[in-house]
Structure 1
């Protein structure tokens, strides 16, 4: 896969102008963007429509966790916007994930990804909410459930990738937030890794945020990430 298609830039911005500036600075370097709850709430779906109209692929990170009918409705709305990926919470269970998968069938280009364990969570956090076992165990448990529900792949930390690839096989998408170049701070991610380590372990895509979006020269930063993925 072309490294440019493996890198998803997270537009974790609180306003449309900042997001537009990043996209403009990256130009043709970046093909794939993530829009999450912050930007979607601040700017509305028009930001997604405009990016799709510019030929960009969109990862809509909604982390859906609702009754199946509501999840299905949100997935259909995402599909109508032209996005390529949308997320659903694995902890919602098989009925919620299956509803998302079924709703996506009308949109051949739409992939449903199940969030396993948020990259900021630790074993202690799971204990706090009554989940027994370790993060590693929970990630694999939810990944197997997602595969059973028909999800196209999962969201997990770079440290989970090797075990997930072994468990899910060669065709599943494994998208990894929580990556940073060597020497950079992993911010709030408890289980970070480098883009190269994630791809080498079997990730299909890496999500980079402030490494690129807060750089003095976002395009140059993007090229550094891309270069780091070269064999």
Structure 2
């Protein structure tokens, strides 16, 4: 996968809504299928999007005992998604098991999907993390810690906010992916995200890939908005 386009979060409930949204686009896209869509439509939504030529980030954030995650990843590997993820909080052994499952389930002749670890959700504030997760450190240090153990486990990168991207790049290297959601245009709203940034700031701060949802999917001119995001992301 060499697609560094903005990833569009397909935050829809049904395949019909997805197809209606995608209809005006006349180009290969990089899209994200999350829990809402996957749980409503099942694995076929991934295979259908791949058959239409799009790259797919399957965002299910697996977090369970190592053997369960290994078995789940073995099944997901056959769908053809380009990127999958787990919660880094599941621990080193769980993440290693996830890779084992992906490698076992990837059909012969294919490259296994990239796998990234979710650090702290971009909807999480430092106060919330400390009070509800009882992690008594800074949010920034928590994210860096999760990034470090994700790299140790052999993952290809992490999901983080733009605010931590540069530090992770410095600590884990350029090739270790920093996938950053919470991307908004200047006039966009934060919605339920707290740690947000514009595409331009994400580029300057060292994000590898950006995920953009409602700024595009709820736009009255989705194709034009997508290309505006893409222009800011690419710096022209």
Please say if residues 56 and 81 of structure 2, whose CA atoms lie closer than 8 Å, have aligned partners that are also in contact.
Answer: yes
How far has the Cα of 1:186 moved from its partner? Answer: 1.6
- What does residue range 47-66 of structure 1 map to in structure 2 within 5 Å? 47-66=45-64
Is 1:201 equivalent to 2:205 in the alignment? yes
Deviations 1:53-84 (A, max 9, x none): 11111100011001111111221222100001
SS for the counterpart of 2:155 is coil
Corresponding residue for 2:15? 16
SS for the counterpart of 2:136 is coil
Is 1:141 equivalent to 2:140 in the alignment? no
Corresponding residue for 1:5? 4
Is 1:123 equivalent to 2:126 in the alignment? yes
Gaps of 5+ in 1: none
- What does residue range 12-91 of structure 1 map to in structure 2 within 5 Å? 12-28=11-27, 30-91=28-89
Gaps of 5+ in 2: none
SS for the counterpart of 2:25 is helix
TM-score, normalised via structure 2 length: 0.93
Deviations 1:132-174 (A, max 9, x none): 1111010000000000000000000111111111111011111
Please say if residues 202 and 233 of structure 2, whose CA atoms lie closer than 8 Å, have aligned partners that are also in contact.
Answer: no
Is 1:167 equivalent to 2:167 in the alignment? no
Please say if residues 115 and 154 of structure 1, whose CA atoms lie closer than 8 Å, have aligned partners that are also in contact.
Answer: yes
User: What is the distance in 2 between the residues matched to 1:50 and 1:230?
Assistant: 28
How far has the Cα of 1:202 moved from its partner? Answer: 1.4
What is the alpha-carbon root mean square deviation over aligned residues?
A: 1.5
Q: How many residues align?
A: 229
